[in-house]
Chains A and B, each alone.
Chain A
Amino acid sequence: MTDTPATRAAQATPVGVARKIKGLSDRAIAWIFVGPTIFLLLAINIFPLIWTINLSFTNFRANRPNREVDYVGLRNYERILTDSDIWLNMQATAHFLFWTIFFQVLIGFTLAYLINKKFKGNDLWTTIIVLPMMLSPAVVGNFWKFLYQPQIGLFNYVVAFLSGKDPSSFEMLGSVQLAPWSIVIVDTWMWTPFVMLICLAGLRSIPDYIYEAAEVDRASKLRQFFTITIPMVLPFLMLAVLFRGIENFKMFDLVVQLTGGGPGSTTELTSINLKREAFEKWRTGYASAYAIILFVTVFGLASIYVKALNKVKER
Chain B
Amino acid sequence: MKHLKLASASALSIAAASFASTAQAEDLTLCWAAWDPANALVELSKEFESQSGHTMSFEFIPWPNFADRMLNELNSGGKLCDLLIGDSQWIGGGAENGHYVKLNDFFEAESISMSDFADATVYAYSTWPKGTPNYYALPAMGDANGWFYRKDWFGREDIQAAYKEATGEDLREPQSQKEMLQIAQFFQGREIDGQTVYGAAIFTERGSEGITMGVTSALYPWGFKYENTPGSYDMDGAVNSPEAVEALEFYKEFYETATPPGYTNSYMGESLDAFKSGQVAMAMNWFAFFPGLYADPNTGGDKIDFFVNPPQNNAGSTLGGQGISVVAYSDKQDAALEYIKWFANPDVQAKWWELGGYSAHNSVLNDPGFKDSAPFAGDFLEAMGSVQDFWQEPAYAELLLAMQKRLHDYIVADQGTAQEALDKLVEDWTEVFEDEGKL
Interface residue ranges, A against B (CB under 8 Å): 59, 62-64, 66, 85, 149-151, 168, 171, 173-174, 176, 256, 259-266, 276, 279-283
Contact = CB atoms under 8 A, between A and B. Distances in A.
Contacts of B205: 260
Given A63-B93, A171-B264, A174-B263, 16 more contacts: A63-B71, A66-B97, A149-B262, A150-B262, A173-B265, A174-B262, A174-B265, A261-B206, A261-B207, A263-B413, A264-B405, A264-B409, A264-B415, A265-B408, A280-B68, A280-B397
A262 B71 contact: no
B169 interface: no
Contacts of A150: 261-262
A171 B261 contact: yes
Contacts of B414: 176, 264
Given A66-B97, A280-B68, A281-B397, A262 B262 contact: no
A176 B413 contact: yes
Most chain A CB atoms below 10 A, which of B97, B206, B262: B262
B206 A262 contact: yes
A262 B398 contact: no
Interface size of B as a range:
20 to 34
Majority secondary structure of chain B interface residues (helix, strand, loop or mixed)? loop
Majority secondary structure of chain A interface residues (helix, strand, loop or mixed)? loop
A262 B261 contact: no
A151 B394 CA distance: 41
Given A174-B262, A280-B397, A66 B68 contact: no
Nearest to B398: A281
Contact of B398 (A59, A176, A283): A283
Nearest to A85: B405
Nearest to B406: A264
A85 B402 CA distance: 12
B205 to A, nearest CB: 8
A186 B394 CA distance: 39
Contacts of A283: 398, 435
B117 to A, nearest CB: 29
Given A149-B262, A173-B264, A264 B75 contact: no
B260 interface: yes
B401 interface: yes
Contact of B262 (A59, A171, A261, A282): A171
Most chain B CB atoms below 10 A, which of A63, A66, A151, A279: A63
Interface string B402-439: 00010011101111000000000000000000010000
A98 to B, nearest CB: 21
Contacts of A168: 261-262
Nearest to B260: A151
B66 to A, nearest CB: 13
26 contacts: A85-B405, A151-B260, A151-B261, A171-B261, A173-B262, A173-B264, A173-B265, A176-B413, A176-B415, A260-B206, A261-B207, A262-B264, A262-B408, A263-B206, A263-B412, A263-B413, A264-B206, A264-B405, A264-B413, A265-B409, A265-B413, A266-B413, A280-B68, A281-B401, A283-B398, A283-B435
Contacts of B75: 62-63, 282
Given A149-B262, A171-B261, A264 B98 contact: no
A301 B207 CA distance: 31
A119 B317 CA distance: 68
Nearest to A283: B398
